[in-house]
Structure 1
């Protein structure tokens, strides 16, 4: 999952582990990770619909 922000960008795996960070603060990364965790089921369903199992 890619996260874009005015200050930078990051890439997370759906576990969610950070895969890459370019310029985001620890606080911004934590906020993104929290959102991913809160919406993990919906993200996985959308991913499977788009890319298949």
Structure 2
């Protein structure tokens, strides 16, 4: 299961249900995908195919939706 947290333009932000416990968010795009750690600070964990410009845009979106991501994480994973 990979519930969508939010979409913005051609980016989809989501979680994988059975993955590591450290808080993070995945993002998919037709050009590739990335993963960002949320805690202890927001930072790129993995990138496959996204340009630096796209990564900068994603980072701004993660920062903008930080509270929404936190709430969705706790609701989905229950911690």
**Structure 1 or 2: larger helix share?**
1
Distance in 2 of aligned mates of 1:9 and 1:50: 21
Equivalent residue, structure 1, for 2:67: 41
Q: Report the RMSD for the aligned CA atoms in angstroms.
A: 0.7
1:24 aligns with 2:76: no
Equivalent pairs counted in the alignment come to: 53
Q: Any stretches of 5+ residues in structure 1 without a counterpart?
A: none
Which stretches of structure 1, 4 residues or more, deviate above 6 A after TM superposition? none
TM-score for the superposition, normalised by structure 1: 0.93
Matched, 1:6 2:30: yes
Structure 2 unaligned residues grouped into runs of 5+: 1-24
In terms of fraction of residues, the more strand-rich structure is 2
